[in-house]
Chain A
Amino acid sequence: MNPSLFKSLGFRAGLVSVLIFVFILAAWHAATLPSRPAAAPTTAVSAEQAEYDKLMGKSAPAAGEAAKTTGFPTLAQMGDTIVKQLSNPFYDNGPNDKGIAIQLAYSLARVGLGFLIACAVAIPLGFLIGMSPLLRRALDPYIQVLKPISPLAWMPLALYTIKDSSISGVFVIFICSVWPMLLNTAFGVASVKREWLNVASTLEVKPLRKALKVILPAAAPTILTGMRISMGIAWLVIVAAEMLVGGTGIGYFVWNEWNNLSLTNVIFAILVIGVVGMLLDLLFARLQRAVTYVE
């Protein structure tokens, strides 16, 4: 083995990550270990008692099988669920039983649509606010009041006016992603270097060309930062929104599996939400890098 490999920070960090993962799995395993029934007289259960237990959802422990001490799923059950979900992600057995990929697609479509509408509103408006001190001051009170409102607080109003739960979800995504983009765009546009604008002026560049060729690329890193923050918030909010409106989506999936008391599915969904959120963030980090310039 190359000894310098062990010295590289990346390798050592990766090693620690793996160790932490192993530790978590071990802790999980230890915490869900079945405790040995202390010579429990399993045979002492009467037939009626066994029938009653069955009705209550507690199957009588078969002879030799250990009694569980906790309802929390074991690693084996968890692994089983992950394999089952991932091996058939596209099944559709009716409104309450759809594959994880289909639920994810619903959520991503809502987030994507709400986010795109927010871009279409926030970026042009941010440009105007950034370029016009008058508009900035005039719109500031509205932005300051609207920005801190929890996006879910809009839900009843959205449901009443739009009368469609799915579109209401899109609206909630729109309203939560619009603010960081709007503020970052306005800030980025307002802080474009004077000298670049002077160059554009001495070259008699028309306003639209100036906006697209000078201000947009100059402000792009700041705008992308806003978009990245917005996407992060949108992905947080979609889960809560779908729990509220129900029907489809990863948030609804979590709630539905909670109602089914299927903790393995809930945990699986939580992991999926985390991974997809990470991938979305990586995507925007990459876009951000593509438009960042070194002065």
Chain B
Amino acid sequence: MEGFLRVEKLGKAFVADKPVFSDVSFKLDRGEFVCIIGHSGCGKTTILNVIAGLDTASTGHVFMDGREVAGPSLERGVVFQSHALMPWLTVRKNIAFAVESRWPEKSAAQIDEAVRAAVELVGLTPAIDKLPSQLSGGMKQRVGIARAFAIQPKMLLLDEPFGALDALTRGTIQEELISIVRKTQQTVFMITHDVDEAILLADRILLMKNGGETSSGYVPGGVAEVVVNTLPKDRSRQTLHHLDGYYELRNNIVDFLVTRAKHH
């Protein structure tokens, strides 16, 4: 079957006749890592929420694994921009809540085992019994990622997970994410604002254009271009900028964001 995730002619209108985006179609293969880049307000988060089942589109459909997405599901793990941890639960209990939801039949010992495995995956074992308020921003986001991985979803949706982190922390977590994704062969759809992040992580990058008024009337936004990342698979953050083709790729995306992403 072609396309593990299929997004078909998706559109969302908050004001009738002026959809934020329309006719958005793309596919993700199993194990593929796809980033979507665009300016604020172009509808990236709405697309991700529709795929997650948290929001509904005005037009179009989303299919995953041959079935239409009709609501939120344990088959799609979501990492939220604001980490969305329950502040009254420790790291252990936050992840246990997800594991219990996924496998209600598991015993307490089995759940704890799964929790510890997930925490170890993101290197937070020493902080397992801490409350989110005792953790740094980067650690909180790691817990968010661990929680999403802990339920072993069929695909992962990341809503700009590193947006609020400083550059150094972001770099470390990006590398952790790469290694986890490679290990687990996850299918990932991720929103980002960071061009280098997209080039580092993604196999393909969708460039989104904002909707806006032009001389010939209102034009809705949508996916304007798809960039295939041709850099070698084993690229790392340290050597990324030395690779052949890196600047070409980067310039192309930056040019798009600066000149072509918005109607002027």
Contacts and interface: CB of A to CB of B under 8 A. Distances in A.
Of A195, A202, A204, A294, chain B has the most CB atoms within 10 Å of the CB of: A202
A217 B131 CA distance: 14
B256 interface: no
B87 interface: yes
A199 interface: yes
Contacts of B74: 202-204
B151 A293 contact: no
Interface stretch (B10-18, B31-39, B94-102, B205-213): B94-102
Interface residues of B, number: 25
Contacts of B52: 202
Interface string A283-295: 0000000010111
Interface stretch (B77-85, B107-115, B118-126, B168-176): B77-85
A280 interface: no
A293 B54 CA distance: 26
Contact of B101 (A198, A203, A291): A203
For the residues of B in contact with A, the DSSP-based class is: loop
Contacts of A205: 101
A196 B97 contact: no
Contact of B98 (A201, A203, A220): A203
Interface string A260-295: 000000000000000000000000000000010111
Contacts of B101: 203-205
B161 to A, nearest CB: 13
Contact of A202 (B73, B88, B133): B73
A204 B53 CA distance: 11
Nearest to A201: B72
Contacts of B78: 198-199, 202
A68 interface: no
B209 to A, nearest CB: 27
A139 B219 CA distance: 45
Interface in A191-226: 193, 195-196, 198-199, 201-205, 213-214, 217-218, 220
A293 B87 contact: yes
Contacts of A196: 84, 86
B76 interface: yes
Nearest to A294: B133
B131 A202 contact: no
Contact of B84 (A195, A220, A294): A195
Given A204-B74, A213-B97, A293-B133, A199 B87 contact: no
A204 B97 contact: no
Contact of B54 (A193, A202, A295): A202
12 contacts: A193-B84, A198-B54, A198-B72, A199-B78, A201-B71, A202-B77, A204-B73, A220-B88, A293-B87, A295-B87, A295-B132, A295-B133
Interface of A: 193, 195-196, 198-199, 201-205, 213-214, 217-218, 220, 291, 293-295
